[in-house]
Amino acid sequence: MNQDILNAARALEQGGLVAFPTETVYGLGADAENPRAVAAIYAAKGRPQDHPVIVHLAPGAELGYWASQIPPEAIALAAAFWPGPLTMILKRASNIDPAVSGGQDTIGLRCPAHPVAIALLQQFKGGRGGLAAPSANKFGNVSPTTAAHVREEFGAGGGVDMVLEGGQSEVGIESTIVDLSRLSTLGPVLLRPGQVSAAAIGQVIGRLPQAPDAAAPRASGTLASHYAPHTPVALLGTAELAEALRRLQGGTRKAALIYFSGMPPAHAAIQLPSNPDGYAHALYAALRDMDHAGADMILVETPPQGEAWLGVNDRLRRAAHGSGERVRALLASESNATTTAARPVASN
Ligand code: TXA
Ligand code: MG
């Protein structure tokens, strides 16, 4: 067993905070049964106390210890997708401290599919514990998909005791969240789209999860603005984007570009794969890189629509929420610029 993982498990048992890799994004973990440790996560992230966090479990963990009602649908979904990028919301067992649930009567449970996360969960409390772990970023920021991203978010004095290395997260966007806590009244509800699609869930449980309603539990990943870089972001259709870039070449503002088809040059640019899994895998690193490119705006070519792209489009919409209008205003003022001389452009 890797010594770092053993040290991390001991630090967590003593109430410390450890960031660890998962197949979706890196998590900031604490002992789910230690309310002070859970409070330290909220403090480090700058996250409101009433937002529930996901509890991560080792493979084969006893669901009945964490949840008071375990419908057959939950057992079937765990068998089909765990370890993997699916979080289930169930009724919280009375022995579990409400701090992990932000005071709600439910609990979010997931078994991650990353060898480092699994080894850590098996070492922590002999495999019988749970690690409360939201994404390892400051509240509202882009989620980290590498250990370096985590260190960028929580530098020295950031309140994190250890960051475990685990390479670049394979999936790249957060887990699908399905709410099974109100099955008898509402049926299954999809709270957050991810790599596990509603159709795939429907196939396993015989009922298609519905889109969230107004009464759905609070979920920070479901706020309109979230996963956002500091540079304003706009989503533009392919033709609109090409036109914006042509205008910017004669103007003063710099654009960083995330695209998947052929594009004219920009100040900085990253081409992402044109398949949804490859796009999701690279998306957050691309948003971070373009955020550091010294540009006035990040322009994103709107990806294709359709179910396989739901998770990606959901995260991009949140990244652009509230800043898309600002970018459009910048572009409009560029188009009025009198200078038409082409500026040197660097693309990478
Ligand atoms: O892929 C993921 O899910 C990553 C990795 C680290 O596992 N975690 C993650 O955690 O995205 P976080 O806290 O950034 O987002 C978890 C989402 C939040 O929107 C939270 O509100 C929701 O899950 N959630 C957790 N427990 C819940 C509950 N009992 N009821 C409703 N929503 C819950
Ligand atoms: Mg998050």
- As a whole number of angstroms, the distance between CA 35 and CA 54 comes to 14
Ligand 1 center to residue 342 CA distance, Å?
46
Number of neighbours of residue 263 by Cβ within 10 angstroms: 18
> Alpha helix locations (H) across 17-138?
35-45, 63-66, 72-81, 115-123
CA distances from 117 to 96, 120, 310 (A): 22, 5, 26
pLDDT for residue 345: 40
For the stretch 49-66, pLDDT in tens is 888 999 999 999 999 999
Q: Given ligand 1 and candidates 90, 116, 177, which is best to mutate, with the most ligand atoms within 8 Å of its CB?
A: 177
Q: What pairing do the DSSP bridges indicate for beta strands 131-132 and 86-91?
A: unpaired
Answer whether 109's CB lies under 8 Å from 88's CB. Answer: yes
Ligand 1 center to residue 53 CA distance, Å?
5
For the stretch 272-308, pLDDT in tens is 999 999 999 999 999 999 999 999 999 999 999 999 9
Res 313 pLDDT > 80: yes
Locate tokens 């990028």: which residue?
A: 85
Smallest-distance ligand from the CA of 42: 1
Ligand 2 center to residue 41 CA distance, Å?
12
- As a whole number of angstroms, the distance between CA 307 and CA 193 comes to 9
The DSSP code for 210 is B
For the stretch 227-258, pLDDT in tens is 889 999 999 999 999 989 988 887 889 999 99
- As a whole number of angstroms, the distance between CA 9 and CA 12 comes to 5
For residue 171 the two structure tokens come to 């999936």
Note the pTM of the prediction, 2 decimals: 0.90
Please provide residue 91's backbone torsions phi and psi, each rounded to the nearest 5 degrees: -70, 130
Q: CB within 6 Å of ligand 1 — which residues? A: 22, 24-25, 27, 51-54, 87, 89, 101, 104, 106-108, 110, 112, 133-135, 174-175, 177, 217-222
Upper half-sphere CA count for residue 47 (Cβ side, 13 Å): 30
For the stretch 81-140, pLDDT in tens is 999 999 999 999 999 999 999 989 999 999 999 999 999 999 999 999 999 999 999 998
pLDDT for residue 47: 86
Answer whether 42's CB lies under 8 Å from 48's CB. Answer: yes
